[in-house]
Amino acid sequence: MGKIAAIIGGGVIGGGWAARFALNGWQVRVFDPDPEAKRKIGEVMENARLSLPGLGNVALPQEGSVTFHDTIAEAVAGADWVQESVPERLDLKQKVYGELMAHVPEGAVIGSSTSGYKPSELQAGLARPGQVVVAHPFNPVYLLPLVELVTTEANEAERVDRAKEILTGLGMYPLHLRREIDAHVADRFLEAVWREALWLVRDGIATTEEIDNAIRYGFGLRWAQMGLFETYRVAGGEAGMRHFIAQFGPCLKWPWTKLMDVPDLTDDLIDAIADQSDAQSGAHSIRELERIRDANLVGILRALSRENWGAGALQKAHDDRIEPASGLVRHMDELSDLSQPVLSARRAVPLEWLDYNGHMTESRYLEAFADATDRVMQMIGCDADYIAAGQSYFTAETHIRHIDESKAGEVIDIRTQVIEGKGKKMRLFHEMRAGGRLVATGEHFLLHVNLETRRSEPPTPQVEAALVKLAEAHAALPAPEALGRGIGAAR
């Protein structure tokens, strides 16, 4: 039996937690008295299946089951993690924790999604207060990695470490607050921006759409990859943060903001905000907006991943953690059977790889096959260190056949047969499959190159020997049916 997560409360946040756990291979049990909970979580799961698997470059573990239970006792039986996401009412949360204490295993971590309450308020009067921590995520939980982990002295160090380990294993970043404070850290920033935005609408300075544009076209993009302080450090130029503070610090005393005051939420102000919001986004349903949001987030996070920066660096680290379970290896010595085509890629199709026909666009087949070639190069010792030392392989010729469609979220496997590997030459034949279907083939011819002279030359003896060994092992395999085929030849 795999790891078990119990979700208490299946709204937007609880559903996001269910998706994050299930798509990372956990069994998920849900308790929510809402008769629509199964439908709502099912819709969240559908969105998550499209976006989360394609966030990284390694296939996620096999999806865990999601079951629904009539009682808290049934849901938490044998659970390793319990996530409470009930409405923000302290009396309701304390009632839930009282029942949890009677049924939850003593070794389990109980996390609360609360955006405002302190853990000490949740722990008050409990038989085992050390089990309860705040684990406050951000929507959509299945994509955004930040989770604020807030603890108190009641939480044993071993349980805090266990909480960090589990959250990190889900591809998340636990920001550990050792001192509790109302609304934690991130929501205090959001509250400040929200107050200022309400005044700007109230005073007729800007509409809801104009305010959103100021964020998404400007500083929001900087914040997404550098945060606040690093952004301002860069703004200080070569003199750095000290210069920035010296130059812009005095502005803090100017009456630019109304952060210490809140406008009255009169009927007129609420109507103005609601009407502007409807005009801004009303053409799309909530589910459509969620899918648009998810596609945009995947694109941004994958761009950051390519630079190994910010949240993208977290995703790359998560790929590295789950890669062994996918069957991929990094060196020939790890292969159990050299005589068979090697698994050179196993990944899901990202949303950003789709074209206007709703399937994987042709350029992404080349990208997938190129990544598979890189994996083979890595296996024979042509790795990052080898390339940094001034030697590599260059692709000289490629032929790709597009045989079937591949859709977003679908897991594709690429297996590679070494056709030729001696001297300066490497010739590979890739087969891409999805669900057992042959989706595409790629034949690639490469030459070994000295990166200083930019001319072809033999690889080092160690790399050549590894490639020859793999080529000789594959020589006994039948030649691929499409090997050497030209464009337009009959299938």
Domain of 246, CATH number, reads 1.10.1040.10
Determine the 3-state secondary structure of 135 from DSSP.
Answer: strand
Average pLDDT rounded to a whole number, residues 66-82: 97
Cis peptide before 461 (omega within 30 of 0): no
Residue spans of alpha helices (H) in 282-420:
286-306, 311-326, 362-379, 384-388
Task: Kindly give the interhelix angle for 12-22 and 37-51, rounded to the nearest 10 degrees.
Answer: 50
Per mean pLDDT, which range of 312-316, 378-382, 413-417, 461-465 is the poorest? Answer: 312-316
On the question of pLDDT at 83 being above 80, the answer is yes
Asked whether the CA dihedral 272, 273, 276, 277 is positive or negative, the reply is negative
Predicted confidence band of residue 255 (pLDDT cuts 50, 70, 90): low
Average pLDDT rounded to a whole number, residues 115-130: 94
**Is 312 annotated in some ligand binding site?**
no
- Give yes or no: residues 337 and 405 share one domain: yes
- The residues, ordered by sequence, that sit 6+ positions from 288 with a Cβ below 8 Å of its Cβ are none
**106 and 132 Cβ atoms separated by less than 8 Å:** no
**Cα–Cα dist 481/407, whole Å:** 25
pLDDT of residue 148: 97
What is the length of the chain?
491
Cα 268 → chain centroid: 40
Determine the 3-state secondary structure of 358 from DSSP.
Answer: coil
Per mean pLDDT, which range of 92-106, 282-296, 308-322 is the poorest? Answer: 282-296
- Give yes or no: residues 30 and 90 share one domain: yes
79 found inside a domain:
yes
pLDDT of residue 258: 67
243 found inside a domain:
yes
**70 and 45 Cβ atoms separated by less than 8 Å:** no
Token pair 């509409």 in the structure block, residue? 207
pLDDT of residue 273: 77
pLDDT of residue 321: 92
- Give the CATH number for residue 425: 3.10.129.10
**Cα–Cα dist 113/123, whole Å:** 14
482 found inside a domain:
no
- Give yes or no: residues 46 and 122 share one domain: yes
- Give the CATH number for residue 34: 3.40.50.720
- Give yes or no: residues 176 and 200 share one domain: no
- Give yes or no: residues 170 and 251 share one domain: no
> In this prediction, what percent of the chain has a pLDDT beyond 70?
97
Per mean pLDDT, which range of 283-297, 400-414, 422-436 is the poorest? Answer: 283-297
- Give yes or no: residues 94 and 214 share one domain: no
Predicted confidence band of residue 102 (pLDDT cuts 50, 70, 90): very high
Predicted confidence band of residue 309 (pLDDT cuts 50, 70, 90): confident
- Give yes or no: residues 86 and 148 share one domain: yes
pLDDT of residue 98: 93
CA angle 289, 291, 293 (to 5 degrees): 65
Q: Phi and psi at residue 10, in whole multiples of 5°?
A: -110, 40
pLDDT of residue 205: 95
Residue spans of alpha helices (H) in 113-177:
119-123, 157-169
On the question of pLDDT at 489 being above 80, the answer is no
On the question of pLDDT at 490 being above 70, the answer is no
- Return the amino acid letter for 418: V
Predicted confidence band of residue 252 (pLDDT cuts 50, 70, 90): low
**Is 9 annotated in some ligand binding site?**
yes
**Cα–Cα dist 463/45, whole Å:** 45
Question: Which of the residue ranges 192-196, 228-232, 359-363 has the most confident prediction, judged by mean pLDDT?
Answer: 359-363
pLDDT digits (tens, 9 = 90+) for 318-357: 999 999 989 999 999 999 899 999 999 999 999 889 999 9
On the question of pLDDT at 45 being above 60, the answer is yes
**Is 11 annotated in some ligand binding site?**
yes
Q: What predicted TM-score, i.e. pTM, was given to this entire model?
A: 0.84
* Count of domains for the chain: 3
- The residues, ordered by sequence, that sit 6+ positions from 291 with a Cβ below 8 Å of its Cβ are 47, 50
- Give yes or no: residues 37 and 150 share one domain: yes
Q: Which domain holds residue 469?
A: 329-474
Taking CA atoms, 49 is separated from 54, 141, 491, in Å, by: 9, 13, 33
pLDDT of residue 227: 85
Average pLDDT rounded to a whole number, residues 361-381: 96
Cis peptide before 140 (omega within 30 of 0): yes
**Is 435 annotated in some ligand binding site?**
no
Token pair 């010296």 in the structure block, residue? 246
- Give yes or no: residues 366 and 413 share one domain: yes
On the question of pLDDT at 1 being above 60, the answer is no
Kindly report the average pLDDT of the chain as a whole number.
92
pLDDT of residue 156: 96
Per mean pLDDT, which range of 5-19, 21-35, 57-71, 182-196 is the poorest? Answer: 182-196
Predicted confidence band of residue 272 (pLDDT cuts 50, 70, 90): confident
- Give yes or no: residues 366 and 443 share one domain: yes
Structure tokens at 112: 């609360």
386 found inside a domain:
yes
Residue 52 class from Cβ within 10 Å (0-12 exposed, 13-18 middle, 19+ buried)?
A: buried
388 found inside a domain:
yes
pLDDT of residue 80: 97
**Is 12 annotated in some ligand binding site?**
yes
**Is 10 annotated in some ligand binding site?**
yes
**171 and 314 Cβ atoms separated by less than 8 Å:** yes
pLDDT of residue 265: 78
Cα 254 → chain centroid: 40
**Cα–Cα dist 294/302, whole Å:** 12
429 found inside a domain:
yes
Token pair 């700007």 in the structure block, residue? 200
**82 and 111 Cβ atoms separated by less than 8 Å:** yes
341 found inside a domain:
yes
> In this prediction, what percent of the chain has a pLDDT beyond 90?
73
Average pLDDT rounded to a whole number, residues 172-178: 94
- The residues, ordered by sequence, that sit 6+ positions from 142 with a Cβ below 8 Å of its Cβ are 16, 19, 20, 23, 44, 47, 48, 51, 52
**470 and 416 Cβ atoms separated by less than 8 Å:** no
- Give yes or no: residues 121 and 86 share one domain: yes
pLDDT of residue 370: 97
Q: Cβ–Cβ contacts within 10 Å for residue 440, how many?
A: 24
Nearest to 6, CA basis, from 58, 97, 84, 61: 84
